[in-house]
Amino acid sequence: MTILVFCQHGLFTAIHKYYTLDDWFEFEKEHPTCMSNVAVSSGISEADFERLQSILHKIPSIKFICLDVANGYTQVFVEYVRKVRKEYPNHTIIVST
Protein backbone atom coordinates (compact mmCIF):
# COMPACT_ATOMS: atom_id res chain seq x y z
CA MET A 1 0.00 0.00 0.00
CA THR A 2 1.49 3.32 -1.10
CA ILE A 3 0.30 5.18 2.00
CA LEU A 4 2.51 3.00 4.17
CA VAL A 5 5.58 3.88 2.13
CA PHE A 6 4.63 7.55 2.39
CA CYS A 7 4.20 7.22 6.17
CA GLN A 8 7.58 5.59 6.58
CA HIS A 9 9.13 8.69 5.03
CA GLY A 10 6.99 11.19 6.95
CA LEU A 11 4.94 12.20 3.91
CA PHE A 12 1.36 13.44 4.24
CA THR A 13 -1.53 11.90 2.28
CA ALA A 14 -5.22 12.68 1.82
CA ILE A 15 -7.07 9.37 1.68
CA HIS A 16 -9.78 9.25 -0.99
CA LYS A 17 -13.35 9.82 0.09
CA TYR A 18 -14.65 6.35 -0.71
CA TYR A 19 -13.13 4.50 2.24
CA THR A 20 -15.76 3.34 4.70
CA LEU A 21 -15.72 3.65 8.47
CA ASP A 22 -14.73 -0.04 8.60
CA ASP A 23 -11.82 0.63 6.23
CA TRP A 24 -10.64 3.45 8.53
CA PHE A 25 -10.95 1.24 11.63
CA GLU A 26 -8.86 -1.46 9.98
CA PHE A 27 -6.24 1.03 8.80
CA GLU A 28 -5.92 2.65 12.23
CA LYS A 29 -5.68 -0.73 13.93
CA GLU A 30 -2.94 -1.97 11.60
CA HIS A 31 -1.02 1.32 11.21
CA PRO A 32 -1.62 3.63 14.19
CA THR A 33 1.59 5.58 13.62
CA CYS A 34 0.34 6.73 10.20
CA MET A 35 -2.68 8.58 11.57
CA SER A 36 -0.76 11.82 12.06
CA ASN A 37 0.11 11.79 8.34
CA VAL A 38 -3.33 11.32 6.81
CA ALA A 39 -6.46 13.36 6.10
CA VAL A 40 -9.97 12.01 5.73
CA SER A 41 -11.54 13.32 2.51
CA SER A 42 -15.10 14.49 1.99
CA GLY A 43 -17.29 15.76 -0.77
CA ILE A 44 -19.94 18.40 -0.02
CA SER A 45 -23.22 16.47 0.02
CA GLU A 46 -25.17 15.80 3.20
CA ALA A 47 -24.26 12.10 2.92
CA ASP A 48 -20.58 13.09 2.69
CA PHE A 49 -20.92 15.22 5.83
CA GLU A 50 -22.60 12.39 7.73
CA ARG A 51 -19.83 10.00 6.66
CA LEU A 52 -17.19 12.53 7.72
CA GLN A 53 -18.87 12.94 11.11
CA SER A 54 -19.05 9.20 11.72
CA ILE A 55 -15.37 8.70 10.85
CA LEU A 56 -14.11 11.62 12.93
CA HIS A 57 -16.33 10.67 15.87
CA LYS A 58 -15.14 7.07 15.92
CA ILE A 59 -11.48 7.75 15.05
CA PRO A 60 -10.38 10.84 16.99
CA SER A 61 -6.73 10.38 16.00
CA ILE A 62 -7.57 11.90 12.58
CA LYS A 63 -6.74 15.60 12.78
CA PHE A 64 -6.89 16.59 9.10
CA ILE A 65 -9.86 16.98 6.74
CA CYS A 66 -9.53 17.27 2.97
CA LEU A 67 -12.53 18.74 1.15
CA ASP A 68 -12.41 17.31 -2.34
CA VAL A 69 -14.64 19.09 -4.85
CA ALA A 70 -14.67 19.92 -8.54
CA ASN A 71 -15.95 23.49 -8.14
CA GLY A 72 -14.26 25.12 -5.18
CA TYR A 73 -15.39 28.58 -6.21
CA THR A 74 -19.13 28.03 -5.62
CA GLN A 75 -21.13 29.49 -2.76
CA VAL A 76 -22.30 25.97 -1.88
CA PHE A 77 -18.69 25.01 -1.27
CA VAL A 78 -18.04 28.12 0.83
CA GLU A 79 -21.03 27.25 3.01
CA TYR A 80 -19.82 23.65 3.36
CA VAL A 81 -16.39 24.85 4.52
CA ARG A 82 -18.12 27.01 7.14
CA LYS A 83 -20.19 24.03 8.27
CA VAL A 84 -17.15 21.77 8.61
CA ARG A 85 -15.14 24.48 10.40
CA LYS A 86 -17.97 25.05 12.88
CA GLU A 87 -18.20 21.32 13.62
CA TYR A 88 -14.42 20.75 13.74
CA PRO A 89 -12.73 23.95 14.94
CA ASN A 90 -9.52 22.17 15.93
CA HIS A 91 -8.96 20.17 12.75
CA THR A 92 -6.82 21.33 9.86
CA ILE A 93 -8.92 21.69 6.71
CA ILE A 94 -7.30 21.19 3.30
CA VAL A 95 -9.07 21.82 0.00
CA SER A 96 -8.56 19.88 -3.22
CA THR A 97 -10.40 21.26 -6.24
Q: What are the tens digits of pLDDT across the range 17-69? A: 889 999 999 989 988 988 999 999 999 999 999 999 999 999 999 999 999 98
Whole-number Cα distances in Å, 64 to 3, 34, 49, 88, 90: 15, 12, 14, 10, 9
Residue 5 has pLDDT above 80, yes or no: no
This prediction's pTM? 0.89
Residue 1 has pLDDT above 70, yes or no: no
Domain ranges of the chain: 2-96
Looking at residue 79, what is its pLDDT?
A: 95
List the one residue out of 3, 17, 82, 89 whose CA is nearest residue 54: 17
Whether residue 33 contacts residue 60, with contact meaning beta carbons closer than 8 Å, is answered with no
